[in-house]
Amino acid sequence: MPYGIKGILLIAALTLPGAVQVDAEVAAGDSAAAASAGPQPGDILGKDNWQLAKDMLPPEILKHYERGEYRNRVVAYPQGTAHWEKSFVEATEKNAGTLDVDERGTIIDKATGKQPDYYYGIPFPNIDPKDPKAGVKAVWNQFLAYWNGGNSFNQTAVLMLSTDKIERNIAADGWFQFIDGQAPKYRRENPLICRAASSALRADRPTSKARPRSPGATATPANATRSGPSFRCCGACGR
């Protein structure tokens, strides 16, 4: 509410019978309007304003904010900041008219009814919300956009938490090779017809000494339990 209007209402509260009730109703209306707008960038979501996220978070997550167990600053994540290679944009524009999904959810070429040798670009840039296949297409868009980022090696400290302690601590090393989603100049031979491949090495750390691993660290405690490495060819991802 504008500052000037609020000031007028406060003055009225000092001079007119019943004005306090009017001001309270206006304030309640402001709170309801803020809640319906949801949390805004800069807000700190926590125990005092958890209602702002009532329609945005699942109940099992929201309850932690209500109890004061979670507290997070809300930040802006503007759309339209992603920039793709020219070949990726051109492939996306072509895909809009040539690709579909079959009854299994596999991407196919409309003209042949078969899978393309490679997927490249966003496969379904224009999804009709009424399309019964819309959900499957949205998932494929997410996969291909992510895979376009290329291969990666990730070191991750996974902490499994209860409300008051670390239940389990896992140090994980992961290697990911993305075969689909790559520009022609980056493609390799693909005899296994994989969409992506991954290899992982996991070490379970004792919770009594559980601490997140610092970036770049590779040492694993002597009394930790190691598993892997394992290799997985994601041939099921559409093949």
Q: pLDDT per residue over 168-179, tens digit each?
A: 888 888 888 888
> Does position 226 have pLDDT exceeding 70, yes or no?
no
Band the pLDDT of 83: cuts 50, 70, 90: confident
- Residue 140: how many CB atoms within 10 A of its CB? 22
Bridge partners (DSSP) of residue 156 are 172
Would you state the torsion angle of the CA atoms of residues 140, 142, 148, 150, taken in this order, to the nearest 10 degrees? Answer: -110
Report in angstroms the alpha-carbon separations of 146 from 149, 157, 180. 6, 21, 10
* Average pLDDT estimate for 136-161: 90
> Residue 203's pLDDT is what?
66
> Residue 239's pLDDT is what?
43
> Residue 186's pLDDT is what?
87
Average pLDDT in the chain: 75
Q: What is the DSSP string of 130-168?
A: T-TTHHHHHHHHHHHHHHTT--EEEEEEEEEE-SSSEEE
Tokens of 144: 């291909």
> Does position 212 have pLDDT exceeding 80, yes or no?
no
Instruction: Please give the backbone phi and psi of residue 232, each rounded to the nearest 5 degrees, phi first.
Output: -135, 125
Cα separation, 198 vs 177, in Å, equals 6
Cα separation, 65 vs 70, in Å, equals 5
> Residue 222's pLDDT is what?
42
Cα separation, 127 vs 37, in Å, equals 26
81-95, 188-202, 213-227: range with highest mean pLDDT: 81-95
Band the pLDDT of 98: cuts 50, 70, 90: very high
Instruction: Please give the backbone phi and psi of residue 175, each rounded to the nearest 5 degrees, phi first.
Output: -115, 130
Closest CA to 23 of 45, 46, 5, 47: 5
* Average pLDDT estimate for 18-23: 39
**How are the residues of the chain apportioned to helix, strand and coil, as percentages rounded to the nearest 5?**
30, 20, 45
> Residue 154's pLDDT is what?
86
* Average pLDDT estimate for 43-50: 95
> Does position 29 have pLDDT exceeding 90, yes or no?
no
Instruction: Please give the backbone phi and psi of residue 85, each rounded to the nearest 5 degrees, phi first.
Output: -60, 155
